[in-house]
Amino acid sequence: MLYLGILVFFLSYVQNIIIDQELPSLLKSRGRLSTARITCQIQQKSSTYIHWYVQKQTKIERILYFNQGKITYEDKFNTNKYECTEALDKYTLLINGLTDEDSGIYYCANWAMETSVTQIQISFMCFCKVILHSVYYKVFGSGTKLIVTDEKAKEPDVTILASRKSYVKTKKSATLLCNLQNFFPDVIDVSWTVAESNTELESAQGEIITNPYSKKSSLHSWISIQENDIGNIYKCRYKHEGKAWVEVEYKTEYLKDHKWTDGNNCTYISDDVGEKPRILRTAQLIYALLLLKGFMYCPLLLFFNYKASE
């Protein structure tokens, strides 16, 4: 008598779709002849259907979907205002006759598929059954923020600061801080790499802070490096308003405890780079106090105007 056993095997496959929206933001002026072009590139797509969505505040709506040259619009969106084109795996959404109401975040999306395989074997000789389970879900790009305005873009002013040499000597590590100031609009991608390498390093960053009066924004991003890494050249990279990656270098050779003698045989130890984080913290405190003063001024002015009118 044959021994009957049940063996169950599980396999799964998840399709790795990559959607790259090249522009984090796009500034365009308003006008009947003004057109915004928002692009996305899709690698390893599982469906020929490409979807475009728009987010305004917390509401996300689909504008259209595109399949092999045919555009299908959602009912509320004007077919004369939106177009979609395809070139290889690159898709472009065109928004015509721009008005302030067109400002929003636009997303490109494509269907992805996750497949699970269950193989059931009853006895070792006679019967095998394979069951497939497929689940579809949408993958979204990072989004492009369209801002309809007559203002001009402003690139960030970038400074890289580092830990004090005394800290490095004691802790056997260092922190590099990339300080990006006075940029507009308030959308920016920041990353770190080592020179001669495109591998993105693990980093952290704070929140984007926008001055309500000047509309200029600031952001800090930082990485930690170990003593063995000191001597490498690191790059703080940012992508802002329609431009390719811009790189700013910092040579950590400066963090080493250099000593040299001048013509008078005097020994000099450079340690001034460690003062910059302290200056930065002081500047941030002053900036916060000025903002607080501005916020308090308006209610007081309204109060005195009210009293004067009684």
CATH number for the domain spanning 25: value is 2.60.40.10
Q: Could you list the pLDDT tens digit for every one of the 310 residues in the chain?
A: 444 455 555 555 555 788 888 889 999 999 989 999 999 998 877 778 899 999 998 899 999 999 888 999 998 887 789 999 998 878 999 999 999 999 999 999 998 866 665 556 665 555 566 665 567 788 999 999 999 999 999 999 999 999 988 888 889 999 999 999 999 999 999 999 998 888 899 999 999 999 999 999 999 999 999 989 999 999 999 999 877 789 999 999 888 865 433 444 333 334 444 444 555 555 555 555 555 555 555 555 455 454 545 5
Which domain covers residue 171, as residue numbers? 157-293
Q: Tokens standing for 262?
A: 């001048």
Among candidate residues 38, 245, 240, 21, the one with its CA nearest the CA of residue 152: 240
In contact, 92 and 85? CB cutoff 8 Å: yes
Same structural domain for residues 189 and 167? yes
Decide: pTM greater than 0.85. Answer: no
Identify whether 1 is part of a domain. no
Angle at alpha carbon of residue 50, lines to 47 and 51, rounded to 5°: 130
Identify whether 303 is part of a domain. no
Identify whether 246 is part of a domain. yes
Identify whether 200 is part of a domain. yes
- Domain total in the chain: 2
Question: Residue 53: how many CB atoms within 10 A of its CB?
Answer: 22
Question: Residue 98: how many CB atoms within 10 A of its CB?
Answer: 20
Same structural domain for residues 176 and 280? yes
Q: Tokens standing for 109?
A: 């999306």
Same structural domain for residues 110 and 60? yes
Among candidate residues 225, 77, 88, 69, the one with its CA nearest the CA of residue 162: 225
